[in-house]
Structure formats: structure tokens, C-alpha cells
Structure 1
């Protein structure tokens, strides 16, 4: 049973996506939590020293999708 789920989809330039991924990577490397702000609310999620990483690439004739998932 989910207590909370926050999902945001938006179209960004490739460089902006790279910046967001770097920000997430920095939070993981330097702190033991991830921080998000959505709708005027701030969320902090503690992250343990070890997590499960899943990277999935889907290639179709007209679309590509890369999913990066962290689970703990």
C-alpha cells in the first residue's frame, strides 16, 4: 500500500535533464537523503548506504525510453 507517490512529467532540453540528474547524483553522493519540492511542499527521503539500481532501455520504431529506478 502506497503512502505517497509524487510523479512529474515535463518536456525539457537535454542539457536541463542532465543538470537534474547531476543534482540527484550529488544528493546521493554527499548526503544520505534526496530532497524534492513540489507544489510548495518540500519532501526529504532518507537513502541507505546500499540501494538497488535498475536501468531499462526500450527502443521502438518511433520512440525511445530510458528508465532509471532506485529502490530500497
Structure 2
């Protein structure tokens, strides 16, 4: 079974930073990440080692900074 969730929001920079801290705290304190969407909660188990990819993309009128964890 394949499941893909995408959550896209417009936030103030400080709010985005807080969400990243919350995710980091979940990673540091246990082996799972929780995500809620449309009233449903999903829990993803995370192993002790992950691959982390950081990507910066600069185009004429748009900037993108992407962090991806995979295992």
C-alpha cells in the first residue's frame, strides 16, 4: 500500500522555524514522527539512521530550500 501526504502552508518565517523545531524534537526524542491531516493522524516509524538531503534551488523569481529524510 502506497500512501503520500503533502502539507503545504503559508506561514510566517518564525512559524515555519517552530514547526521545524517540533519535527526535530520528535526525531530526537523517539523513533516516530506524527502528522495530522484532515482530522486523520499518521505515525511514521523512523529508524536510528536516516539519509538526509538538503537542496537549494535558485531561479529568477523563486527560491526553494528543501530538506528530505529517507530510509
TM-score, L = length of structure 2? 0.95
Q: Runs of 5+ in structure 2 lacking a partner?
A: none
Query: Which secondary structure does the structure 1 equivalent of 2:22 belong to?
Result: helix
Name the CA distance, whole Å, in 1 between partners of 2:20 and 2:26. Answer: 10
Query: Which secondary structure does the structure 2 equivalent of 1:62 belong to?
Result: coil
RMSD over equivalenced CA pairs, Å: 0.9
* Number of aligned positions between the proteins: 71
TM-score, L = length of structure 1? 0.94
Q: Runs of 5+ in structure 1 lacking a partner?
A: none
